[in-house]
């Protein structure tokens, strides 16, 4: 639309008037239809790339943990109005939420840039009040939530047999898709997550959001304790998965654990990962973390055992800051350039693998702590998907996987398996630089070959543009659907 108007302004010179612009729009000015053609071509090329390969195995076996919850999705601004929370003048970061003022400040902090965030609410009265308000809010939606169940759902839909580690209530376990077996105890009252969604341009007082996203609050009882771990461990032995996926550990973030409780839980999970067969790929899905103690434990006990990592544009600089030993980043540019993200990915890949080499060099470390090298790194952003895969590693079909991840982003956010180009927009530039270093190569975005792949060092990099959905149905769960869709073609 913007480009169309600019073109008609040029065409009709100074005589332009509102009616001319409207007329030009009516007749669809050439620039706009060119743009449509470009979108159509990118879409059909991505679809072709996605369907180039099928799933390799008959039915790949994927084990996914841990945790799960009931998501209540509401319009964030409507919810805050309903509980009478006045827009704050002070957007502020809080590690966790103790009262309504902090909720207002924390929401405003992430709402304006449109950055995804997730926070623990330590005040039970406040959380109950929010749940009640959500129940009463017209247009609310309920679904099974949590990283593990969402990834499990996507994997099952794509043709995998799934073992899901999580605690569910009986009625929710019943509505899980076919081909998912649950490992975990039944609970009477499942954990509830409130998903405060907002579209791009949403207004809260004098705050306006710059992109569509969501702010999540929870007050979990089961998930922080990895309640399903024991059963998952047990069933995993017979299941023998091709791929083991771990996510949902952000539910431990800023949670009031007893001394050493968290470390004991994560050590146990770390042992589970390190004892998995070398033939089983291990993927760790990052999330929104602020608790440096927890992040330190993850870095020490969990990540060394993963050969694949998935994350978004916020989580990448967050993890990188931890690896660099600097203060943890809580908010980053929600629309980063390709060059910036690729540089961060290269650094993360290098730092993680350097830690792996160092751990292996230490002769007195036992096999459990040695872990695996990182051979796959997938970063999903609003505008594009990027992946680093080590050459000669077990991960296949990187190009098709990145195309599938990109298409899944649109399918999920628009809430439809069929992509409608009139509800999509390309926001990636017409060419991108592969690094911020001066003199770096630029790669044009070719409509007929939208996924660009090239070799560097000992790895391949692939980048694909996302057809950004303009009529948002849901952002929550997007990262999980996207990550799972990418993995499914690579097993």
Ligand X SMILES: *[C@@H]1O[C@H](CO)[C@@H](O)[C@H](O)[C@H]1NC(C)=O
Question: By the criterion CB under 6 A, which residues form the site for ligand X?
Answer: 98-100, 123, 125-126, 129, 150, 153-154, 327, 411-412, 477, 481
Contacts (Cβ under 8 Å, ≥6 apart) of 273: 244, 246, 282, 302, 305, 306
Q: Write down the least CB distance from residue 290 to ligand X, Å.
A: 12
Report the nearest approach of ligand X to the CB of residue 482 (Å).
9
For residue 329, what are the contacts with CB-CB under 8 A and spacing of at least 6? 317, 318, 320, 321
Q: Nearer to ligand X by C-beta: 33 or 99?
A: 99
Q: What are the Cα distances from residue 113, in Å, to 236, 267, 394, 413?
A: 41, 36, 38, 18
* Residue with nearest beta carbon to ligand X: 153
In three-state secondary structure terms, 281 is: strand
Q: Which is nearer to ligand X, 139 or 325 (CB)?
A: 325
Report the nearest approach of ligand X to the CB of residue 481 (Å): 4
Closer residue to ligand X, CB minimum distance, 74 or 302: 74
Separation between Cα atoms, residue 386 and residue 364, nearest integer Å: 37
Q: How many residues does the chain have?
A: 491
Distance CA 323, CA 153 (A): 32
- CB nearer to ligand X: pick between 13 and 84: 84
Q: Considering the complex, what minimum distance in angstroms separates the CB of residue 242 from ligand X?
A: 19
Helix or strand holding residue 478 (H, E): helix 478-488
* CB of 150 vs ligand X, minimal distance in Å: 4
Nearest approach in angstroms of CB 409 to ligand X is 9
Question: Which pair of tokens denotes residue 2?
Answer: 């913007």
**Type and span of the H or E element at 386:** strand 384-390
Report in angstroms the alpha-carbon separations of 404 from 141, 398, 426, 461, 467. Answer: 27, 10, 16, 15, 12
User: Tokens 């033939």 — which residue?
Assistant: 279
Report in angstroms how near the CB of residue 477 gets to ligand X at its nearest: 5
Q: Which is nearer to ligand X, 181 or 458 (CB)?
A: 181
For the CB of residue 32, give the shortest distance to ligand X in the complex, in Å.
27
In whole angstroms, how close is the CB of 94 to ligand X at the nearest point?
A: 12
Query: Of the two residues 215 and 459, which places its CB atom closer to ligand X in the complex?
Result: 215
Query: Which residue do the tokens 């051979």 mark?
Result: 375
Q: CA 334, CA 283: separation in Å to the nearest integer?
A: 24
**Rounded Cα–Cα distance for residues 8 and 27 (Å):** 11
Closest CB 406 distance from ligand X, rounded Å: 12
With respect to ligand X, which residue has the nearer C-beta, 123 or 353?
123
Question: Between residues 311 and 476, which has the closer beta carbon with respect to ligand X?
Answer: 476
List the alpha helices (DSSP H) in 161-291. Answer: 170-174, 229-239, 261-274
Q: Is 174 left (phi over 0), alpha (psi -120 to 50) or beta?
A: alpha
Give the tokens for residue 254: 């800023």
- For ligand X, which is the closer residue by CB, 35 or 85? 85
Burial class (CB in 10 A: 0-12, 13-18, 19+), 51: exposed
Tokens encoding 445: 């975005």
- Would you say 153 or 421 has its CB closer to ligand X? 153
């Amino acid at each position: 639309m913007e480009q169309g108007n600019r073109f008609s302004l040029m065409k009709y010179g100074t005589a332009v008037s509102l009616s001319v612009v409207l007329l030009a729009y009516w007749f669809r000015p050439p620039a706009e239809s060119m743009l449509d053609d470009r979108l159509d071509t990118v879409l059909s090329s991505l679809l072709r790339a996605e369907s180039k390969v099928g799933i390799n195995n008959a039915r790949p076996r994927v084990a996914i943990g841990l945790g799960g919850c009931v998501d209540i999705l509401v319009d964030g601004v409507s919810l805050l109005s309903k509980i009478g929370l006045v827009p704050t003048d002070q957007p502020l970061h809080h590690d966790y939420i103790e009262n309504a003022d902090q909720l207002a400040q924390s929401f405003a902090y992430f709402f304006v840039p449109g950055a995804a965030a997730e926070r623990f609410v330590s005040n039970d009265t406040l959380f109950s009040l929010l749940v009640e308000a959500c129940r009463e809010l017209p247009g609310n939606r309920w679904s099974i939530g949590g990283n593990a169940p969402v990834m499990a759902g996507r994997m099952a839909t794509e043709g995998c047999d799934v073992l899901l580690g999580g605690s569910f209530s009986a009625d929710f376990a019943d509505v899980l898709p076919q081909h998912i077996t649950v490992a975990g105890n039944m609970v009477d009252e499942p954990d509830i997550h409130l998903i405060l969604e907002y579209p791009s341009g949403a207004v809260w007082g004098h705050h306006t959001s710059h992109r569509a996203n969501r702010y999540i609050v929870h007050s979990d009882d089961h998930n922080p304790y990895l309640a399903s771990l024991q059963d998952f461990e047990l069933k995993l032995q017979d299941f023998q998965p091709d791929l083991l996926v771990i996510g949902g550990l952000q539910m431990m973030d800023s949670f009031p654990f007893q001394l050493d409780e968290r470390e004991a839980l994560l050590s146990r999970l770390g042992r589970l990962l390190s004892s998995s067969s070398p033939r089983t790929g291990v993927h760790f899905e990052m999330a929104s973390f602020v608790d440096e103690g927890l992040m330190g434990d993850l870095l020490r006990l969990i990540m060394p055992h993963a050969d694949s990592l998935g994350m978004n544009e916020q989580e990448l600089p967050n993890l990188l800051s931890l690896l660099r030993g600097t203060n943890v980043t809580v908010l980053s540019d929600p629309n980063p350039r390709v060059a910036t993200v690729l540089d961060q990915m290269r650094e993360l890949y290098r730092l993680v693998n350097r830690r792996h080499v160092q751990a292996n060099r230490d002769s007195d470390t036992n096999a459990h702590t040695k872990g695996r090298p990182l051979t796959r790194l997938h970063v999903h952003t609003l505008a594009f998907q990027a992946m680093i895969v080590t050459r000669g590693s077990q991960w296949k079909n990187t190009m098709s996987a990145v195309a599938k991840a990109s298409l899944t982003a649109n399918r999920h956010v628009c809430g439809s398996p069929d992509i409608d180009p009139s509800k999509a927009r390309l926001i990636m530039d017409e060419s991108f630089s592969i690094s911020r270093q001066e003199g770096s190569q630029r790669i044009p975005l070719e409509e007929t070959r939208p996924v660009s792949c090239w070799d560097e060092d000992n790895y391949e990099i692939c980048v694909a543009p996302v057809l950004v959905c303009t009529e948002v149905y849901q952002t929550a769960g997007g990262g999980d659907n996207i990550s799972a869709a990418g993995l499914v073609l690579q097993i």
